[in-house]
Amino acid sequence: MAVILPKQIGAPEGELLFRTSDKITDLKEAVKIVNALKETLDYYGGVGLAAPQIGISKKVFIVHLQPTKDDSDLPDVRWKEYINPEILDVSSENNVYAEGCLSVFYATLYGEVIRPNFLKIKYLDINGKEHIDDIYHPFHTRVVLHENDHLNGKVFLQQMKPDDFARLHWEKDLDIRNKSKME
């Protein structure tokens, strides 16, 4: 598979973003999907990507976090795949942070979303091995929940409080369609 421009809400091909995805039953299929997700995320940037965003209605997403000097407490989670994930528990403690999405106006629209600080998740890796992870970093938790929402037919806008829509902000310089022009 090649790099795929993420499907967009409001476009006919974006309807898949509002449907519940099917479980993965074939690990060979999962490998192909994960590779396409990696290639697409590597090209467009971002910290996570789910199969529905590239037009595949399957329960798989990837996360790619790299610590920087400015965020040295961020866990190093490079190209981690979550196949058939199941959120087992979330903390009652929450945080608020602006989220964007490669599938929402080409990553240009950002809004505040309340998310739990911690979570417990069960999933399969690319080899079919089951894992149960406790994720304690609030941003890592946010990314996992954001991507998992895609598998359940939701985008971050649906997680926002109605009052917070007045504070949506536009970052037109981040438009992923300009990616090729920036290289």
CB 41 within 8 A of CB 77: no
Active site residue 147: yes
Kindly state the tokens that stand for 121: 């998740």
User: CB under 8 Å to 79, separation ≥6 — which residues?
Assistant: 38, 62, 64
Token pair for 67: 């610590």
Which listed residue (29, 81, 147, 183) is catalytic?
Answer: 147
Exposure pattern of 129-152 as b/e (b: 16+ CB <10 Å)? eeeebebeebbbbbbbbbbbbbbe
**Cα distance between residue 150 and residue 60, in whole Å:** 10
Catalytic residue annotation: 147
